[in-house]
């Protein structure tokens, strides 16, 4: 696919994976033939749309330099930050002399190794002429309850509820400004929320349910299952 504008991928990979409770950050756990982060980066690179992939890595991380992909010509390493948003901002700063404000950036969690080229292209094709940008998301199948203590106080109208996935796609300049303005705000758990804080309304694009985030131990087996059943 060729486009007249540039696309950059930003991959926050500086988390410790507390909920995974493993002997190393979850992005370095083995999944079939490779580590989780190698799957994620290979899939982004193989989508063949990105000028480069900027990866935010913790400064105390001994695993990253051991991976061959760390020296790939399209991979740029940036320092990780305290929160996910800090890591993303650091990666954006690492490409500031290369990227233009109007270029698109797709931010994708290192912990989502099942991302498909199909979902990446679907997001890009849907939003490439959009003013604001947007995110892959999934509608909720379960009935959702609002709870206080252990008591249900309300049933939510699930037609209005979507689960935010990644990639999240925004213009370089707008995303960087939004994250800088929101720095230190704990409510900013994804890129879209930083833009929402500016009064903007990012779009949702329905993604595939196999694009899971590895969060807890059982998710590794699930990711393995999905990978075996994907054929891209
Ligand atoms: N991340 C990051 N910098 C941080 C925190 C998280 O780059 N300071 C990254 C993670 O490496 C991951 C993505 O953001 O790829 C999504 O975060 P999450 O799933 O919460 O990962 P962790 O923070 O590592 O896991 P946990 O919350 O269980 O500790
Ligand atoms: Mg986390």
pLDDT (0 to 100) of residue 2: 81
pLDDT (0 to 100) of residue 24: 98
Q: Ligand 2 centre and the CA of 17: distance in Å?
A: 7
The superfamily (CATH) of domain 7-229 is: Spore Coat Polysaccharide Biosynthesis Protein SpsA; Chain A (3.90.550.10)
- Given the CA of residue 112, which atom of ligand 1 is nearest to it? 15
For the stretch 95-102, contacts whose Cβ atoms lie closer than 8 Å and that sit 24 or more positions apart, written own/partner, are 95/8, 95/52, 95/54, 95/172, 96/176, 98/8, 98/51, 98/52, 99/6, 99/8, 99/172, 100/6, 100/172, 100/173, 101/171, 101/172, 101/173, 101/174, 102/5, 102/171, 102/172, 102/173
- Report whether residue 112 contacts ligand 1, using a CB cutoff of 6 Å: no
Q: Ligand nearest 64 Cα, by number?
A: 1
Q: Ligand 2 centre and the CA of 3: distance in Å?
A: 34
pLDDT (0 to 100) of residue 231: 74
Closest CA to 109 of 215, 217, 188: 215
- Given the CA of residue 19, which atom of ligand 1 is nearest to it? 28
- Report whether residue 110 contacts ligand 1, using a CB cutoff of 6 Å: yes
Q: pLDDT (tens digit, 0 to 9) for every residue of the chain, 232 residues total?
A: 788 899 999 999 999 999 999 999 999 999 999 999 999 999 999 999 999 999 999 999 999 999 999 999 999 999 999 999 999 999 999 999 999 999 999 999 999 999 999 999 999 999 999 999 999 999 988 999 999 999 999 999 888 899 999 999 999 999 999 999 999 999 999 999 999 999 999 999 999 999 999 999 999 999 999 999 997 5
Q: Ligand 1 centre and the CA of 125: distance in Å?
A: 28
pLDDT (0 to 100) of residue 180: 98
pLDDT (0 to 100) of residue 70: 98
pLDDT (0 to 100) of residue 81: 97
- Report whether residue 27 contacts ligand 1, using a CB cutoff of 6 Å: yes
pLDDT (0 to 100) of residue 55: 99
pLDDT (0 to 100) of residue 159: 86
Q: Ligand 2 centre and the CA of 109: distance in Å?
A: 10
Closest CA to 54 of 5, 91, 79, 90: 91
Q: Ligand 1 centre and the CA of 135: distance in Å?
A: 18
pLDDT (0 to 100) of residue 78: 98
- Given the CA of residue 12, which atom of ligand 1 is nearest to it? 7
- Given the CA of residue 16, which atom of ligand 1 is nearest to it? 24
pLDDT (0 to 100) of residue 4: 87
How far apart are the two ends of the chain, measured CA to CA in Å? 16
């Amino acid at each position: 696919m060729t486009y007249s504008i540039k696309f950059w991928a930003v991959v926050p990979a500086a988390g410790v994976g507390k909920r995974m409770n493993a002997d190393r950050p979850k992005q370095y756990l083995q999944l079939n033939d490779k580590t989780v982060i190698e799957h994620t980066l290979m899939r982004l690179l193989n989508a063949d749309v990105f000028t480069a992939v900027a990866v935010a890595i913790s400064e105390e991380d001994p695993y990253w330099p051991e991976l061959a992909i760390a020296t790939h010509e399209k991979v740029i390493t940036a320092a990780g930050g305290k929160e996910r948003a800090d890591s993303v901002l650091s990666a954006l700063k690492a490409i500031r002399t290369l990227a233009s404000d109007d270029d698109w950036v797709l931010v994708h969690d290192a912990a989502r190794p099942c991302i498909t080229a199909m979902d990446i292209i679907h997001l890009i094709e849907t939003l490439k002429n959009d003013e604001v940008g947007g995110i892959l998301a999934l509608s909720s199948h379960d009935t959702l309850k609002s709870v206080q203590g252990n008591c249900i106080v309300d049933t939510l109208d699930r037609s209005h509820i979507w689960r935010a996935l990644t990639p999240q796609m925004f213009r370089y300049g707008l995303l960087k400004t939004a994250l800088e303005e929101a720095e230190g705000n704990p409510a900013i758990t994804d890129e879209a929320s930083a833009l929402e804080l500016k009064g903007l309304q990012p779009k949702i694009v329905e993604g595939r349910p196999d694009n899971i985030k590895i969060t807890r131990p059982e998710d590794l087996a699930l990711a393995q299952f999905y990978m075996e059943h994907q054929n891209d």
